[in-house]
Structure 1
Amino acid sequence: IPNVSTNARWAQNGMTVAGSHGKGNSTNQLWGPCGLFVDDDQIMVIADCFNHRIVQWRMGDMNGQVVAGGNGNGNRLDQLNGPTDVLIDKETDSLIVCDRENRRVVRWSRCSGTIQGEILIDNIACWGMAMDDQRYLYISDIEKHEVRRYQMGDNHRALVAGGNGEGNGLNQLNMPTNIFVDPQQTVYVSDQNNHRVMKWNKGTREGIIVAGGQGEGQALTQLSYPNGVFIDTLGTIYIGDSRNHRVMRWPNGAKQGSVIMGGNGKGIGANQLDFPMGLSFDRQGNLYVVDHYNQRVQRYSIE
């Protein structure tokens, strides 16, 4: 998690670091990308949803490399179907993938020659994932409107957010998409259809609204179908405010956010976005945004 100062600024024009050659399944293209994960070496892995694959891009490469799926949509172990999120598990040098349409979470080794994955969790309407320092896996479920914590290799699953049916109460969620877990095992949830971000402290029965929650809209107090969420060491929240085509930054405890990227109408310009979804930082504090309908990933350099 990067240390980002409170008065940090980023370039307003994004640099395309993956995709942007229209939608398609060539290795220089993406189609409906959703989530991404950036590791310490600035290697990106991207859930290339409508191509039913995970692609890896190194900084400066013109083409990505298929590292999971890519064999058409289906439920064989060498296939994915509409993957929405991915992360790298350094301990096992593997990718963990939310294989959404197959209702399962799968693991693919990063060793060369890997041709199929293994099922970690099945029968789950997963969307977003996060892993904490103890290697617990957190997964959002968009049908049960909850987030659960899983111990790797164990069937025990602890409820950590929601789980009280679809709704907008403080103990409820409505379509929880992306999630982020901090070192204290605090869970942040993009509560998409409630147009808010919720924070659930460890062991609590209800969450706290930390961004949005004022109905759908484009005021600085509002969000519209948020997706990607990331929290820096100061507790500042970064949000892919999807239908407002912008990325918002909410300082810890703030009543409103500021627009740090986009917000210039939807479009394909370098200062525009079209439904931003997953987002992530590298160690230097540069921000990476999945620009869903522009079929690209944008990188915004910290100034």
Structure 2
Amino acid sequence: MFSLLVTIPANAKWAQNGVTVAGDNGYRGATNKLNWPRSLFVDDDQTVIIADYRNHRIMQWKNGDTTNGQVVAGGNGVGNGLNQLSNPTDVLIDKETDSVIICDRRNGRVVRWSRRSGITQGEILIDNIDCFGLAMEEQRYLYVSDVGKHEVRQYKLGEKNDTFVAGGNGQGDGLHQLNWPTYLFVDRDHSVYVSDYNNHRVMKWVEGAKEDIVVAGGQGQGNALTQLNYPQGIFVDTLGTLYVAESGNHRVMRWTQGDKKQGTVIAGGNGTGANQFNYLRGMSFDRHGNLYVVDADARKEQTIDDFNDTSTTSTRSISSIQMVIEIFYHF
């Protein structure tokens, strides 16, 4: 995630019924559909960029247009060509080059695609990496999580050298270890936040530190306010408040700076209502403090392995599956 500077008041509240801004027309490959989207990026003008995982493409939805999206990368079938993607898991906008940077997970690479008209293929920025999440700061340092090596590394765009940031000491739950690091966020102090998925916690790496700090969860897997259950998308506002999307608990949590003991639920639950989530993945905020989430109303029809991309489909009809991006308005 790019470090958007968003200030959200400590007493902020959000509408408890979400409004669909993309998807919600079943699934598969049409431009008004999504197929197991993973993450999203919200631009200053509220344009939403979506990693459309099983359609092997990146979609762009303009503010106010809830009918059809635009393919801005991939969309040429699954493959490893420069005009193709294979299960993208994260995306961000590089405004300096008017391009999108993508974690092209199954191809083991990070790629960049220009959003300018007439561009039909991308360029490889990083290869031979089991990437999952991305973040970038204003000095154009790119942070990438590697779920295979359980680590996060920093890259300077335009240079080949990389720097170790977090994890990298084998799979584990120590303060110097990670266990399937997925999504990232970097704040204006250059601190890096990591969704430590299988450890059910969020870790913070401070520049120059030898080990990470637990800033949310870390009390085992569960649904108490002191716990997390498979954290995924994360966001940090200018006050240092951390927001976490939990796929296991179907909720978005808020953890205020300095309070490591417990968080509060700001949205979500377990069910099919407009105020509940079923298969929560990515999340973000726009500059107005509105909350955006990636959700799939398909929990009863399919069980999905996040990392091995396998599914078990029940005998029930899957025509009711809805892959959606929802907005919860701040007031």
Shorter-normalised TM-score: what interval? over 0.9
Work out whether residues 287 and 301 of structure 1, in 8 Å CA contact, stay in contact via their aligned partners in 2: yes
Match of 1:271 in 2: 275
C-alpha separation between the residues in 2 aligned to 1:98 and 1:141?
10
- The AA in structure 1 aligned to 2:267 is M
Correspondence 1:68 to 2:96: no
Aligned twin of 2:49: 45
RMSD across aligned positions (CA): 0.8
- The Cα shift of 1:232 comes to 0.3
Partners of 2:55 and 2:41 in 1: CA distance: 17
Whichever residue aligns with residue 278 of structure 2, its letter is: D
Determine the C-alpha separation between the residues in 1 that align with 2:26 and 2:223. Answer: 28
Q: Tell me the residue number matched to 2:170.
A: 165
**Secondary structure at the counterpart of residue 35 of structure 1:** strand
Distance 1:161 1:4 in 2: 28
Whole-Å separation in 2 of the counterparts to 1:18 and 1:205: 41
Structure-1 residue corresponding to 2:316: none
Match of 1:291 among 274, 280, 295: 295
Rounded to whole Å, the distance in 1 between the matches of 2:176 and 2:78 is 36
| Amino acid in structure 2 at the alignment position of 1:290 | V
- Any idea what SS the aligned residue of 1:50 has? helix
98, 113, 116: which one pairs with 2:118? 113
User: Does the Cα contact within 8 Å between 1:238 and 1:248 map onto a contact in 2?
Assistant: yes
* SS of equivalent to 1:223: coil
Distance in 2 between residues matched to 1:102 and 1:150, nearest whole Å: 19
Inter-partner Cα distance in structure 1 for 2:227 and 2:252: 12
Q: Retained in 2: the 8 A contact 1:226–1:240?
A: yes
Once residues 239 and 127 of structure 1 are traced to their aligned partners in structure 2, the CA distance between those partners, rounded to angstroms, is 17
SS at match of 1:91: coil
Amino acid aligned to 1:295: M
Matches within 5 A, 1:106-145: 106-145=111-150
- The share of aligned pairs that are identical, in percent, is 63
- Structure 2 distance, partners of 1:15, 1:241, is 19
* TM-score with structure 1 setting the length: 0.98
Choose which of 4, 8, 14 in structure 2 pairs with 1:10.
Answer: 14
Counterpart residue type for residue 38 of structure 1? V
Where in structure 2 are the equivalents of 1:1-303 lying within 5 Å?
Answer: 1-61=5-65, 62-254=67-259, 255-263=261-269, 265-267=270-272, 269-292=273-296, 293=298, 294-303=322-331
Say how many residue pairs are matched. 301
Structure 1 position 275, deviation (Å): 2.0
Q: Please list every run of 5 or more consecutive structure 2 residues that lacks an aligned counterpart in the other structure.
A: 299-321
Residues of 2 paired with 1:144 and 1:130: CA distance?
Answer: 18
User: Could you say what secondary structure the match of 1:193 adopts?
Assistant: helix
Do the aligned partners of residues 230 and 216 (structure 1) sit closer, same or farther apart at CA in structure 2, a change above 3 Å counting? same
* Residue segments in structure 1 that go unaligned for 5+ positions in a row: none
C-alpha distance in structure 2 between counterparts of 1:128 and 1:60, whole Å: 28
Q: Distance in 2 between the 1:259 and 1:223 partners?
A: 11
CA–CA distance in structure 2, aligned partners of residues 124 and 10 of structure 1: 38
What is the TM-score of this pair, normalised by structure 2? Answer: 0.90
- Deviation, 1:23, is 1.4
Instruction: Output one character per residue of 1:242-298: Cα deviation in whole Å (capped at 9) or x when no partner.
Output: 1110000111121101111112x143x211111211111111111111114541111
Structure 1 segments, 4+ long, off by >4 Å, are: none
On the 8 A contact 1:16/1:297 being kept in 2, the answer is yes
Moved more, 99-108 or 293-302: 293-302
Q: Residues of 2 paired with 1:70 and 1:266: CA distance?
A: 32
Q: What is the rounded CA distance, in whole Å, between the counterparts of 1:171 and 1:117 in structure 2?
A: 35
Does structure 2 retain, via aligned residues, the 8 Å contact 1:228–1:278?
A: yes
Distance 1:17 1:57 in 2: 8
Partner deviation per Cα, 1:202-250 (whole Å, 9 max, x = no partner): 1111111110001111011111110000000111000011111000011
Hey, what's the Cα distance between the residues in 1 that align with 2:170 and 2:51?
A: 28
Amino acid at match of 2:223: Q
1: CA distance between counterparts of 2:271 and 2:156? 40
Deviations 1:8-52 (A, max 9, x none): 000101110000111111111001000111110100100000000
Measure the CA separation in 2 of the matches of 1:135 and 1:278.
22
Q: Give, in angstroms, the shift of residue 133 of structure 1.
A: 1.2
